[in-house]
Structure 1
Amino acid sequence: MAFTQFFVLAIVAILVPSILAVEFMVGDDQGWTTNYDYQAWAKGKEFHVGDKLVFKYPEGAHSVIKVNGTSFQQCATSAGNGILTSGNDVIPLETLGNKWYICGVAKHCEVGNQKLSITVSEGSSSAARKSIAPMYYGWITAIFGILAMVMV
């Protein structure tokens, strides 16, 4: 019986953070492109550890490069920066703090303002989480119900 309770708690511990995580489509329906105000897009959004950024764009047309604050301001990259080019790049936000992303193609960052700066914080208090959470409560209840039936 104790093993079963441990098993149920382990499942809950795994499921709850993934339910509270939010995927942000960078630029919404515009995607990752030039001549778009990504700072205005990010304004008012709360980014938390566990969330994901999704950069969508035509493969080969752009790239996503994580940089530091100085490189962000200068639209500069270095050999150590990882370059994503799939057109459907998903970046998990795993640590707290400021994050900076730029496009490394041509002068998209400098001329086209294709860059994003966000701050990742702890917790899960955003309005987006609150609006989607009730949908998942039903799934959690169903899972617990099934587990309870299996245990009896």
Structure 2
Amino acid sequence: MSWLLVAVALAAASASAEVYKVGDSTGWTTLGNFNYKQWAAAKNFRLGDIIVFEYNAQFHNVMQVTHAEYRACNTTSPKATYTTGNDSITLTRRGHHYYFCGVPGHCQSGQKVDINVPRLAVRAPSPSELASPMVPATPANPPSTNAGVAASPTTGVLLATMVLFLGDLLFSHRS
């Protein structure tokens, strides 16, 4: 049952996923002393969001690492290594996701980023979803078990938000 809840939560989250290019127009590089820590702190990452690392694959890569490896710029045993120059990674779990460039000296010079997906974070409905009118049931409509409740984008967003919140509650009590 819990795997089904996770699947529903991820599907709901990905329906409103944001795509973030790491470093924005600067991309993933050592040029210009870009502050990736400051960049990530200004973002509001959620489950289902996609982070994209764009870089010259001749000079850089992306390694996903543990917190200890991140702090020490230790490249010996990454969780994953990406080398395409255009790597898209979907955020599928809450907490910190640590990445750096594994080319010698690059991490030490600041080419590293900590992407944090907060524990109970859920994406709020957009203004356009909130402004979408709900159509009330009319006598011409056949009766149903949910008479008076009309489906709308807002209803879907609220349902997805509830599913994510309940999933967080279930999983936070297990750990």
TM-score normalised according to structure 2 size? 0.61
Higher strand content, 1 or 2? 1
Number of aligned residues = 120
Alignment map for 1:1-152 (pairs within 5 Å): 17-34=13-30, 35-110=33-108, 112-121=109-118, 122-125=121-124, 130=126
Query: Identity percentage over the alignment?
Result: 36
Moved more, 24-33 or 35-44: 35-44
Paired with 2:57 and 2:113, the residues of 1 have a C-alpha distance of 19
Larger radius of gyration: 2
Contact kept, 8 Å, 2:66 with 2:78, in 1: the verdict is no
Give the C-alpha shift of residue 61 in structure 1: 1.4
Q: Is 116-125 or 60-69 further displaced after alignment?
A: 116-125
Structure 2 segments unaligned to the other structure (5+ residues): 1-8, 133-151, 154-175
Q: By how many angstroms is 1:130 displaced?
A: 3.2
Q: For the residues of structure 1 that align with 2:10 and 2:77, how far apart are their CA atoms?
A: 36
Q: TM-score, normalization: structure 1? A: 0.69
Which has a greater percent of helix?
1
Contact 1:60 1:86 in 2 (8 A): no
Higher RCO, Cα 8 Å, sep 6+ = 1
Q: Give 1:4's aligned residue.
A: none
User: Contact (CA 8 Å) 2:14, 2:47: kept in 1 or not?
Assistant: no
